[in-house]
Structures are given as structure tokens and as C-alpha cells.
Chains A and B, each alone.
Chain A
Amino acid sequence: MAHRSHVLVCAGTGCVSCGSFQLGMALEREIQKHRLDAEVQVVRTGCQGFCAEGPVLIVQPDEVFYCGLKEKDVPLLVQEHLLKGRPVSKLMYMPPAAAAPVPTLSRIPFFAKQKLVVLRNRGLIDPERIEDYIARDGYSALARALTEMTADQIIQEIKLSGLRGRGGGGFPAGIKWATCRQAALHRSVEPILVCNADEGDPGAFMDRSIIESDPHAVIEGMIIGARAIGASQGFVYIRHEYPIARERLGKALVQARECGLLGQDILGTNFSFDIEIVQGAGAFVCGESTALMASLEGRVGEPRAKYIHTVEYGYKNQPTNLNNVETWANVPLIINRGAEWFASMGTGEVAENPWNGSSGTKVFSLVGKVNNTGLIEVPMGMSLREIIFDIGGGIPHGRRFKAVQTGGPSGGCLPESLLDMPVDFDSLTAAGSMMGSGGMIVMDDHTCMVDVARYFIAFLTEESCGKCTPCREGLRCSLDVLQRICDGTGEDGDLDLLEEMGGVMQDACLCALGTSAPNPVLSTLRYFRGEYEAHIRERRCPGGVCQALIHYEIVAEACDGCHACVNVCATGAITGQVKYLHLLNQDLCIKCGACIEACKRDAILRV
């Protein structure tokens, strides 16, 4: 049923810090009281651009703009404007005539569609100043967790929120915490907390950005986790390639320690906990939990069988709770604003069983052939189409969307037909991909899916630790087959062979790197089989990428003999006199494509 009126309460950062949440809730209560809830809807919007006089709200369709509101103004506003239809002039504000000549962020889809929870402080605070973080309610969740909540209550809150691990596995954090706590109590062994910041997926930089813009959020989340699980020692395992993130995190730890937020007797509550930064040495496999712990212990970063869970026997055989950066950064807000609020975002009814859905938001790094590349945070369950076309701004150069790869190198490629699929843990897995840590690579129609699969398998072959046979040899053999398909020497049984190898790898590999490694092959085979067949049967690369299967031609009608292509051709394959038709010698052409870039008349074709 349509509402007759919408009250657009600004939920931009400026207004939130002046109490627009409380204002919105007061409005809802008041509207309920007057039984107007069927007619009037309260909507929280992005920043309406007038942060200086917040909190602001607009009543639609009347276009009446109120600002500088306080909770005590609400009864008057509801009674007068919403019930009686008389705008309250003393609360209204008329913007100056010379309004800002630029659009507000809430009208730019890239910003408007995002919902910043984890990234709430991005671009606002100085990450190297703990005062800035505290000014934005930082460490208030910790104060609450330490003084008002028991360990069980904290865990219960996390369970009810439905928070699932953001590192790729999607395991419910509350259950993990509870298991770790139990294991530690049962064995009377001190549990260990680890934050996984070994983000290795190509094109993914969520964790780096979170630590760079808001390191204290991660630290606060970890301290709350430590309190819940009963740990006194934590580690952040961060990859060596993130120098700025590491430096900022290091400074944040020093500040937190100086303020007594880490170390002995935190906030005077007798609770002690400290965090140490450990640097990875650049192995992708160290993002895997058991390999990470081996590396933490100073051994070679190789996974072990997980029939014994790390929450029971992890780092140095102590119960170890590993969560990723984004998971930890979510924790303070869940404690501050409650599980219910968190669960209201995203999909499914998670309060009873976190496996039922995906609550909260997810940070993605949106890269590839998309106009607005960047780091975004959206509520779980947003469709791929909204992410790629609204936030991402579509495909550059007017090309067609072909596929989106989610979940890093071991994720899968999803086709256009799945664009309306909601992005959450279970939908992605069902479609043969995965959430992973949140990498999202958009590909246009100039992409060859076989080449994409080959690229990711090559990456994984390089990064496989080589411990178990199926991963080490299976990837190598898969890569050989993919390479020969790209080289135009693929054979008829190759696709079945790839599928057979993929299936066995999923069954037989030692760790998640191996079992998910065939995803790029299997998902492209599932959705783009035709392209593989074109490579094998017609010796043709529809994306125009595989060098062995393409060649360049000069269109005689279009060539005006401008000589631009001759100038850029490194091998002298193009000849011809100025103002006369040029010729291309296929024997000399190395298919670099420089001529096509140089030609202004589209006279060169890639075939």
C-alpha cells in the first residue's frame, strides 16, 4: 500500500552525529501513537547535503525542509504537519538562493546506494588519531561490553545478529566464538584471537582499506571478542605488501595501549588483552586458517587437515579464534546498536539460525570493466545489477556486460542471466561462485572466458603450496589443458576432462584453496560452455583475446592511408604508401593490437 507521505530523515554522517537516529525513532513512535503509520513512512536517506544545520529532514511530497531538529520538536511536527497538514514554519529552513552548484552525494548513485557500517568512518576521521575515533563513538561499545555485559551476553548478541565470517567461509561468528570459549574452558587453556589481514585475492583490497581508514574499529572489535572468548593475547596477521595499513595499525595499537585500552587492566576493569602484529611473507595460501597459524608459529605456511578444528587446536595447539578484518570491524557496531538492528539489514531470518541468511552489509572492491571502480559497502542481498550498474555506473565505452567474477581467484564467473541474483553467501555458492572476501571483477564482451579461467588457474598454480597431490598436480594438469585450448590445440574430450579434474579436486584436496580452485573453470564451463566449444571446434576466440586464434585485417574501404598504423607497428608488418591502401603481412604480425589503437578510422579489425 502506498503511503501518502514520506518523511526523509537524513542519515548522513553529519546528521547521525547530531542525533538523527534518535530523531527518526522518536518520529516513528509519534506516528505510531497517532496511528498514522499506514499513511506516513519514515525513510532514512543519504546525506541531504546540509550537514551544517543537522539533523535535517524533508517531508514529501510537500518538499518542506526542516533542520536543526531536536527530539522535543517531534510531537509538534507530527501533530501539526503530518496530522493536520500545516507545515511548522518555525522549524523550517529556506536554503539560500545560491544553492550549491553541485549535486548532493545522495543523488549520485555510487554513494546513494551504499550503506556504510564497517566503513562508517572512512574519509571522516584521521586514522592516526585515536581522538577522532573516540569522537565518533569509538570504544563506547567496548565500555559497554566491559561494564554492562557478561561474556555470554556478548556472544549471544553476536549470535543473534547473524554475523557471518567476512573472510570467505561465511561461518557464523557467534558460533565460532562460543565453540572457542567452550574449548578453552574445557581444557583450561588460554584461547588466542587472530585477525586475518592476509588479503591475497587479486583485485581485492577491502581489508587494506578498512585498516587504513579505521584501524581502531578492528582493534575495538578484537578487544570485545577477547572479552567474550576470554583471551588475553591476540595477533593481526597482515600481509607484507600493505605497508601503510601496517603502519597505521601499529600506530593505533600504540595509542590504544597508551590510553589503557590495550594491555593490563583495560579501562580500569581488570580485564587484560594485547595485540601483536605479525607480517606475512607474501604467500596467498597463508590466508587459509591452518596455514596462517603455521606461519604465525614461525613454520612454513602450509595447511593441515582440518578434521581437528583450529577453534580447538589452533595456534600452538591453543583454541584459536580467527576472524577476518571486516568481521572484527562489525563487532563494535553490533554491540552498540544491537543484534536486531544488524539483523534488519541483509537477507533471511538470522536470529534463530545464522545459517538462514546473510545479515548486515558487505564491503566489496569493485574492479574491472566498470566505470566507478572502488570500494563499496552495501547491504547483503543487493542484486548484482544494482551493484554493477547503479553503483558501478555500468560498463565503460558502451560495451556489453559479459560476466562478473566474485570471491577472488577461487570464485566463479557469473553471467548476465544471473544479474538479478541477490548477493549473499548462499546464493553465490548455489550459483557456483562464492562470497569470498569480497572481490568483484566485472568483465565486458572483450573478455575471453577461457582466458579468464586460464589466468586464475595459473595464479592458483603459482600460489598452491604444493603439499597435496590433487592441488599441485591437478592444477598443473588443468592449466595445461586450458593453455592448449587457448592456443587453439584443444581436443574434443578436453571439456569433460576439465570437469572430471574439477570434481575430483573439490573432493580430494587438503584445504579450501584446493577444493575451491576449480571454481573458475567449472563456473565458466557451466555458463560459457559455448565459448570453450568455439575455441575447440571452430578454432575461434569469441572475446578476441587468445592470440593464437585471432588475427588482424585492414578494411580496404575504410583505410585512408594515414600511415598512423605503420608508425606504431613494431615489427613492420604493415606497409603502404601515404594516402594509399595499407597491407598487413600476417607472417610478421605479432598481434599486439597497437595498430587498432592507432587507427582513427576503424579500418583495422580484430577477427
Chain B
Amino acid sequence: MARLTIDDLKRMRDAAAPTLTLRTGTARARITVHMGTCGIAAGARDVMAALLREIESQGISDVIVAASGCAGLCSQEPMATVEVRSMAPVKYANLTPERMSAVLQQHVLRGEIVAEFALGAGCETTG
């Protein structure tokens, strides 16, 4: 990557923002698997692997999969945040590979929140 100047920094921020917020851009949904040490210890790698496998086998191309840090509620890891366009993000807790693929099917593809595994909707207060 080229060395940045301050203007580049601003441009980069503007360009990268959509990938985080889904407000613009082409992706249908973004799935963030929380992969801190706590999550990984509870099985987040398996969840992530299952998710990627599922997406590949079904040929889904408009879903962003991202890894991120701990979501805070370590006792209920592995967790993932599913954000579907025009809907509030939903945090799922105590996931397994099977539950993850259920969430992918039902929530991401059909737009119905899997209440059984959902912890809550929305995101945390910052600042």
C-alpha cells in the first residue's frame, strides 16, 4: 500500500465507510464473527469455517463475512453480528456451526430473525 497523506486518509475513510455500514454499496448483508481469544476458545473458528463453507457451497456472492474482536459478553461466545440491509443488526450468541448455517439460511437469505439464538438487536452505545 502506498504511503498515505492526510488527504488520502480522508478519502480512504469515505471510501471504506460503506463496507462497514452497508448503507451504500452492493452487499446484501454483512456477517461479523467475533473472534477474540474468548470466542476462539469457545469455537468461533468452527463457526467461521462453517459459514464460509456454506456461503461457498451455495454460491452466495453478496454477503460480506468479517472477523472482529470480542463482543464483550464472553460467557455467551461464540457470537456473531448479522446485519442485513435495511434491518437492524442482530447479535447471535452461543453459536455452533449448525446454528450459524441456520442463521444464514433464515436471517440472511429470507430476512427472518432467528429469535431462538438471537441475543438482541441494534448496536452498543459508543462515545
A and B touching (Cβ–Cβ under 8 A):
yes
- Return chain A residues, CB-CB under 8 Å to B76: 372, 374
Number of interface residues of B (CB under 8 A): 56
Decide if A383 is an interface residue (CB 8 Å cutoff): no
Q: Mark B88-127, 1 if CB is under 8 A from A, else 0.
A: 1111000000000000000000000101001111111111
Decide if B51 is an interface residue (CB 8 Å cutoff): no
Given contacts A52-B85, A123-B70, A375-B72, contact A44 B37 (CB under 8 A): no
Closest to A142 in B: B9
Would you give the shortest CB distance from A248 to chain B, in whole angstroms? Answer: 8
- Return chain B residues, CB-CB under 8 Å to A123: 32, 34, 68-72, 79, 81, 124
Q: Mark A1-43, 1 if CB is under 8 A from B, else 0.
A: 0000000000111101110010000000000000000000000
Decide if B52 is an interface residue (CB 8 Å cutoff): no
Q: Mark B55-90, 1 if CB is under 8 A from A, else 0.
A: 000000000001111111111100101010111111
Interchain CB contact (< 8 A) of A111 among B1, B6, B19, B124:
B124
Given contacts A51-B88, A51-B89, A267-B9, contact A103 B126 (CB under 8 A): no
Given contacts A14-B89, A123-B72, A374-B75, contact A105 B37 (CB under 8 A): no
CA distance A44 to B12 in the complex (A): 29
CA distance A213 to B1 in the complex (A): 22
A209 touches B70 (CB 8 A): yes
Stretch in contact with the other chain, from A254-262, A540-548, A586-594: A254-262
B121 touches A105 (CB 8 A): yes
Given contacts A114-B124, A116-B124, contact A126 B72 (CB under 8 A): no
Given contacts A49-B121, A52-B23, A124-B20, contact A135 B127 (CB under 8 A): no
- Return chain B residues, CB-CB under 8 Å to A128: 67
CA distance A245 to B115 in the complex (A): 33
Interchain CB contact (< 8 A) of A376 among B1, B13, B66, B72:
B72
A120 touches B127 (CB 8 A): yes
Q: Which bracket fits the contact residues of A?
A: 35 or more
- Return chain B residues, CB-CB under 8 Å to A111: 72, 120, 124-125
A213 touches B68 (CB 8 A): yes
B122 touches A134 (CB 8 A): no
CA distance A255 to B122 in the complex (A): 31
Decide if A139 is an interface residue (CB 8 Å cutoff): yes
Decide if B21 is an interface residue (CB 8 Å cutoff): yes
Decide if A143 is an interface residue (CB 8 Å cutoff): yes
- For B67, B79, B81, the residue with the greatest tally of chain A CB atoms inside 10 Å of its CB is B67
Would you give the shortest CB distance from A371 to chain B, in whole angstroms? Answer: 8
Closest to B74 in A: A374
B120 touches A107 (CB 8 A): yes
B71 touches A12 (CB 8 A): no
Decide if A214 is an interface residue (CB 8 Å cutoff): yes
B72 touches A127 (CB 8 A): no
Decide if A575 is an interface residue (CB 8 Å cutoff): no
Given contacts A122-B69, A128-B67, A373-B75, contact A112 B121 (CB under 8 A): no
A135 touches B19 (CB 8 A): yes
Q: Mark B6-46, 1 if CB is under 8 A from A, else 0.
A: 10011011001101111100000000101011101000000
CA distance A45 to B122 in the complex (A): 12
- Return chain B residues, CB-CB under 8 Å to A362: none
Would you give the shortest CB distance from A398 to chain B, in whole angstroms? Answer: 17
- Return chain B residues, CB-CB under 8 Å to A374: 70, 72-76
A47 touches B124 (CB 8 A): yes
A244 touches B36 (CB 8 A): yes
Closest to A137 in B: B13
CA distance A100 to B118 in the complex (A): 10
Would you give the shortest CB distance from A16 to chain B, in whole angstroms? Answer: 6
Would you give the shortest CB distance from B95 to chain A, in whole angstroms? Answer: 14
Decide if A274 is an interface residue (CB 8 Å cutoff): no
A136 touches B67 (CB 8 A): no
Given contacts A105-B91, A212-B36, contact A131 B127 (CB under 8 A): no
Given contacts A17-B17, A140-B9, A374-B73, contact A49 B88 (CB under 8 A): yes
Report how many A-B pairs have Cβ atoms within 8 Å. Answer: 222
Interchain CB contact (< 8 A) of B123 among A51, A135, A147:
A51
CA distance A446 to B126 in the complex (A): 37
B72 touches A259 (CB 8 A): no
CA distance A138 to B85 in the complex (A): 24
Closest to B86 in A: A52
Decide if A84 is an interface residue (CB 8 Å cutoff): no
Decide if A570 is an interface residue (CB 8 Å cutoff): no
- For B34, B67, B76, B89, the residue with the greatest tally of chain A CB atoms inside 10 Å of its CB is B89
CA distance A50 to B87 in the complex (A): 7
Would you give the shortest CB distance from B2 to chain A, in whole angstroms? Answer: 8
A12 touches B69 (CB 8 A): no
A17 touches B21 (CB 8 A): yes
B12 touches A213 (CB 8 A): no
- Return chain B residues, CB-CB under 8 Å to A14: 21, 89, 123
- Return chain A residues, CB-CB under 8 Å to B72: 110-111, 114, 119, 122-123, 374-376
Decide if A208 is an interface residue (CB 8 Å cutoff): yes
A102 touches B113 (CB 8 A): yes
Closest to A392 in B: B75
For chain A, residues 238 to 295, give those with C-beta under 8 angstroms from any C-beta of chain B: 242, 244-245, 255, 258-261, 267-268
- Return chain B residues, CB-CB under 8 Å to A16: 126-127
Decide if A101 is an interface residue (CB 8 Å cutoff): yes
Closest to B66 in A: A126
Given contacts A52-B87, A213-B36, contact A135 B121 (CB under 8 A): no
Interface residues of A (CB under 8 A from B): 11-14, 16-18, 21, 44-53, 100-108, 110-112, 114-117, 119-128, 131-132, 134-140, 143, 146-147, 205, 208-209, 212-214, 242, 244-245, 255, 258-261, 267-268, 333, 337, 371-376
Known: A111-B125, A114-B125, A128-B67. 7 other contacts (CB 8 A): A13-B126, A110-B73, A123-B124, A132-B19, A143-B9, A209-B69, A374-B72
Residue pairs across A and B with Cβ atoms less than 8 A apart, 6 shown, are A18-B23, A46-B122, A110-B73, A123-B69, A135-B13, A143-B6
The 8 nearest A-B residue pairs measured at CB = A213-B69, A260-B3, A47-B122, A135-B16, A49-B122, A46-B125, A373-B75, A102-B118
